[in-house]
Amino acid sequence: MQAIAERYVHLVLAVGQHDAVYVDAYYGPPAWRDDAAAARVPLDVLLERGHGLRADLDAESAADADGQARLAFLRGQVRAVVARIEQLSGRRFSFDEESAALYDAVAPTHPESYFADTIAQLEALVPGNGALADRLDRFRQQFIVPAHRLGPVFDAAIAESRRQTRERIALPASERFEVEFVRDKPWGGYNWYQGGYRSVIQVNTDLPVHVDRVVDLAAHEGYPGHHLFNLLIEQRFVQERGWMEFTVYPLFSPESLIAEGTANFGIEVVFPGDARARFNRDVVMPLAGAPLALADDYDAVMLVFAQLSYAGNEAARAYLDGTIDRAAAVAWLMQYALMSQARAEQRTRFMDAYRSYVINYNLGQDIVRRYVEALGGTPERPDLRWQLFLALLQSPRLPSGLQ
């Protein structure tokens, strides 16, 4: 299996020569990356190699559960690599075909009426007069973290999510990450895993950062989200077992649904129930200078608002399938996801760059939550919830294997 695993790494690095954002992280031998750049193998040859790898994986077997999980994971990843090569070669996929091929999952479809209930609830909750989106925007403006407070606010949230995570799992002494504030990106935050248990976390400040995003970003990008997931992969799979396939992370692959799903669900694991609202009220809002008297109202609004996230999937599906244009996608996001125009436009740029990747966040979160809760890891049993969550981070999994 080791030889097959190495061929997979070489294949992913070679595809990265045709797609600048494809290789999200790599910390295997530097010479392998240099070789891929020097060779720049054409796509039709890479497609043949992908098919060959698939055939060899189909013929492979594993004796123990560990090996079987590894084999199943590699098969799923290679299926996605082949689909990505086909896509780069010009094959057109519908939104749902693409997410099935790349992420091993298809997002549910919701009609416009599905979002109407949530919007009606918000109509009753958000104060003021006028259009709901404008009222929501005005209400949330009071909870923008001023630029000069972003550093201390993030530091406080990261310290808390790190402290809680370290109570649950021993981490390598050298693990750490740096936070950078950046501009002009199609995403809100990004974890760039460097290898050696280090990450660089970037936070995009093109658009205002609201109070509720602070805990999201600290937990999602840091602990127990991407930084923890990536360092556990390096520690458990690469260092302890020598599984080379985990030294590379192809962005458009099933690993991303697990990564985004666990990172988003991780927010609920580290701040379960009302712990999140309490931390916002006691720590984040005072540091950000937000109005504490409105803390409960803000929390109630944001809880309902979060239910609109699937409206983003509908906009992406229609936009990428070509049934609506960019202006209509922006209008849809403003109407059903209640985004500001600037945020809706940023989201369409994300769709241009990452396409059906959007499903990995909310569908991934739901898949991971259902999986953990079906095994008993409900909010009422936080110890079991942590235990199941950490076990998931430390076993190779495919989305279809969690459903």
Dihedral angle of Cα 254, 256, 259, 262, to the nearest 10 degrees: -70
Shortest Cβ distance from residue 97 to Zn ion (Å)?
Answer: 23
Q: What residues between 232 and 271 interact with Zn ion by CB under 5 A?
A: 260, 263
Nearer to Zn ion, 160 or 260 (CB): 260
Q: Shortest Cβ distance from residue 361 to Zn ion (Å)?
A: 7
SS3 339: coil
Cβ-based nearer residue to Zn ion, 71 or 212: 212
* Contact of 275 with 128, CB cutoff 8 Å: no
Nearer to Zn ion, 28 or 266 (CB): 266
Q: What is the nearest approach in angstroms of Zn ion to the Cβ of residue 270?
A: 15
CB closer to Zn ion, 260 vs 314: 260
Q: Which residues pair with 191 in a beta bridge?
A: 201
- Exposed, middle or buried, 291 (CB in 10 Å: 0-12/13-18/19+)? exposed
Shortest Cβ distance from residue 102 to Zn ion (Å)?
Answer: 16
Read off the tokens for 74.
Answer: 């590699």
Q: DSSP string spanning 167-234?
A: HHS---TT-EEEEEEE-S-SSSEEEEEEETTEEEEEEE-SSPPBHHHHHHHIIIIISSSHHHHHHHII
Identity (one letter) of the amino acid at 13? L
Give me the least distance between CB of 154 and Zn ion, in Å please: 16
CA distances in angstroms from 107 to 182, 222, 284, listed in the order given:
31, 26, 33
Q: Would you say 219 or 398 has its CB closer to Zn ion?
A: 219
CA triple 83-89-92, angle to 5 deg: 65
Structure tokens at 129: 């007069």
Nearest approach, Cβ of residue 181 and Zn ion (Å)? 17
Number of residues this chain uses to bind Zn ion (CB under 5 A): 2
Residue 265 or 305 with smaller CB distance to Zn ion: 265
Residues forming contacts to Zn ion in the complex (CB under 5 A) are 260, 263
